[in-house]
């Protein structure tokens, strides 16, 4: 990861499935030149989200405000940053459950998505710009999954899951920035199974998103899935989704 950070030099990095206690995550990331905000999971070795930034945030909020059910799940952290023009950016790192159809794991996934439906409009009212990033573990459309026909009854492409994203990008009013920039094409995928030849054949899933409020989405100029050149060179089953926005710098 340090090599990728040195080459990409992003202003912000959001991480999901960190799987480390806060003190360990901070220690590992201490020499990157970024301020690290980490929200670990109560269950050791599970979940975990983080935000890395060039400066300290004005505020940090952990969890989805759901009376504690997800507060220690390590799946949602909000950070507020003041931009150079005085506007407020709320940046979220989110990790939605992978789920498993017809099991309690899927019930938790729907409960989390229900809270997102409630929280996203609230954030849009309290900040000038909102950007929700992360591994959301749902392919919204057939364009987002190479083998969609074979996965219609599997978690990640269930009609009930996809309906949440219809709301995110419909009545709630957020923009799927990656899709807007990429156009109506297959993919670009961001996750590939470690099994078989999925990576080499680009048999992937687009489950990593940047969901932005409209004014922020309008400033997006370029999207890149920074996929490794070969299976042997990858360091995760995901590839970083990098999007450039034409915004004032963050205030130091």
The whole-angstrom separation of Cα 251 and Cα 89 is: 11
Q: Is the peptide bond before 123 cis (omega within 30 degrees of 0)?
A: no
Domain residue ranges of the chain, discontinuous segments joined by +: 1-82, 96-224
Confidence at residue 94, expressed as pLDDT on a 0 to 100 scale: 98
The whole-angstrom separation of Cα 203 and Cα 183 is: 19
Q: What's the full length of the chain, in residues?
A: 252
Strands in 12-16's sheet, in edge-to-edge order, are 12-16, 49-53, 35-39
Render each residue's pLDDT in the chain as its tens digit; 252 residues.
567 787 878 999 999 998 888 888 888 887 788 899 999 988 888 999 999 999 999 999 999 876 678 888 999 999 999 999 999 999 999 999 999 999 999 999 999 999 999 999 999 999 999 999 999 999 999 999 999 999 999 999 999 999 999 999 999 999 999 999 999 999 999 999 998 899 999 999 999 999 999 999 999 999 999 999 998 898 899 999 999 999 988 776
- Say if pTM beats, i.e. exceeds, 0.85: yes
Sign of CA dihedral 63, 65, 69, 72: positive
Confidence at residue 139, expressed as pLDDT on a 0 to 100 scale: 98
Question: Is residue 135 among the annotated active site residues?
Answer: yes
Catalytic residue among 40, 108, 135, 144: 135
As assigned by CATH, the class of the 96-224 domain is alpha beta
Confidence at residue 32, expressed as pLDDT on a 0 to 100 scale: 82
The whole-angstrom separation of Cα 12 and Cα 132 is: 12
The whole-angstrom separation of Cα 185 and Cα 144 is: 9
């Amino acid at each position: 990861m340090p090599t990728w950070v040195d080459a990409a030099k992003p202003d912000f990095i959001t991480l999901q499935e960190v799987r480390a206690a806060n003190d360990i995550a901070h220690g590992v990331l201490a020499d990157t030149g970024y301020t690290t905000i980490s929200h670990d999971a109560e269950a050791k070795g599970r979940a975990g989200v983080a935000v890395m930034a060039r400066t300290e945030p004005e505020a940090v909020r952990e969890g989805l405000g759901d009376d504690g059910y997800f507060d220690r799940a390590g799946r949602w952290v909000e950070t507020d940053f003041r931009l150079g023009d005085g506007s407020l950016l709320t940046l979220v790192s989110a990790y939605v459950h992978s789920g498993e159809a017809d099991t309690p794991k899927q019930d938790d996934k729907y409960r989390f998505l229900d809270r997102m439906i409630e929280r996203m409009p609230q954030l849009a009212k309290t900040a000038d710009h909102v950007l929700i990033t992360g591994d959301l573990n749902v392919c919204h459309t057939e364009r987002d999954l190479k083998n969609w026909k074979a996965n219609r009854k599997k978690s990640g492409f269930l009609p009930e899951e996809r309906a949440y994203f219809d709301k995110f990008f419909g009545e709630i009013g957020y923009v799927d920035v990656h899709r807007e920039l990429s156009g109506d094409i297959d993919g670009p995928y961001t996750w590939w199974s470690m099994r078989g030849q999925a990576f080499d054949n680009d048999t992937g899933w687009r489950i990593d998103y940047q969901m932005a409020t409209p004014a922020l989405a309008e400033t997006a100029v370029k999207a890149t899935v920074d996929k490794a050149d070969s299976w042997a060179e990858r360091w995760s089953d995901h590839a970083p989704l990098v999007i450039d926005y034409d915004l004032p710098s963050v205030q130091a």
